[in-house]
Amino acid sequence: MSRGRTNVVKQRFVKASLVIGLSSLFWGTPHYIQAAEQAEYVSITDQSFKIYKDIGQTEDTATTITVNQTFRVEDIHEKGIVTYLGIHDVDGLVGYIDASDTTQAVGPEGTEKIIRQYVKIDESRERYKDFDWSILGDTEEFIGQTFRAKAIYHHFNGDAYLSLYDNQDEWIGYVEESATSDSNRQAYLQLEEAETTSSEPEKKVTQATQPTIATNRGTMTENQSSTDTNKHFIQGTSDTTRSRVSEKKAVRQVAATQQSGKKTWTNHSTFIEAIAPEAQALAAEYGLYPSVMIAQATLESGFGESLLAKEANNLFGIKYTSGDAGRFEPYNIPSDEVINGVRMTLPATFRKYETLSDSLLDNAKLLANGLSGNSTFYQGAWRKNAKTYQEATRSLTGKYATDPEYDIKLNRVIETWNLTQYD
């Protein structure tokens, strides 16, 4: 993104709505198009992502978009079992992307990416307390010093922000990455502590005694939120909204402990938390990798948000066959398949389950017991045969799914969400 765009102020929120039939403009047949309930943001987290000019049809090979960038989602499209997001930057629509290639962000700051880097501060910039642009101070006194960057945020405004710590592990705030350069651990350990200018004990800040901070926009108290609209064309989450977010997190933590047959999640993290315990138990029983099972459910269902997951409780895209009569109900929906290297949408019938728990169990049985007449068809995914989860995902490519990049996508989900913690 061009840094010149940061002089634009744009805060548009899309009202909740559901529009049916507009997708005939793209495909000629009705599909669901759903507008985001509010300004939703996602960061691209899959290295093998693709941007489409339309809904999964024409790839934009000239795009300059890179992994980790953050975009606003204004429309959601269901095409078969794949969910496509219409992603926007400040100038408008930039294209469409498979939802499984993204991670939902709390706000325009994007997602927190954990890093372990050492950087030297080269320029005087503001240090932010949060992404509402509350200012802690500036970096003038730290120029030439090395700090440890523990996380990076790729903001919707096109800039990246580092979460910096000194050698006493004291947080100094969020600082623009462009104000820093690479350094090393030795320089970090040699960082001298700043000398105190007063022998008086530190005063506790109260509402009656708020310190003031000098900025290039005048003087303000630490509690005030300073927003430079010339730079930050879209504000972060307000204090009121953040309190609501915290409240929602608490609700989600309770919801995640409920039976996985109930749709209780509200974002990607809580979906994983909801299915992980049962996936661990089933994987242990059937000799599989929990990380692979969770990644498959995540990738195949778009974090539980696909129509197949919502309406048929089918997390893994398991098809319905003639032998399923009496055991499962059929569910008809178009499916994206790769045939002879060409991706196309074809009619398909899938198994419909009573609960998500039944879907998890069926997947475990399928991988453990194989196909009719070939019980060892998926033996490459068995834990006793696959030394690593990478070997397990590689064995599923071309067998479980026709996508030639199936293992790459599964591995990316496992790495991004640290799913090996469940193995």
Mind listing the pLDDT tens digit for each residue in 4-53?
333 322 232 222 232 323 233 233 333 334 444 445 899 998 878 999 99
- Residue, of 54 and 194, whose pLDDT is higher: 54
Mind listing the pLDDT tens digit for each residue in 363-386?
999 999 998 788 999 999 999 999
Q: Which domains, from first to last, does the chain contain?
A: 3-105 (2.30.30.170), 113-196+206-221 (2.30.30), 260-422 (1.10.530.10)
**Most confidently predicted of 174-183, 243-252, 332-341:** 174-183
At 254, is the pLDDT very low, low, confident or very high (cuts 50, 70, 90)?
very low
1 pLDDT above the threshold of 90: no
pLDDT given at position 344: 65
pTM greater than 0.95:
no
pLDDT given at position 350: 92
Cα 276 to Cα 266, 312, 354: the distances in Å are: 15, 20, 19
pLDDT (average), residues 70-86:
89
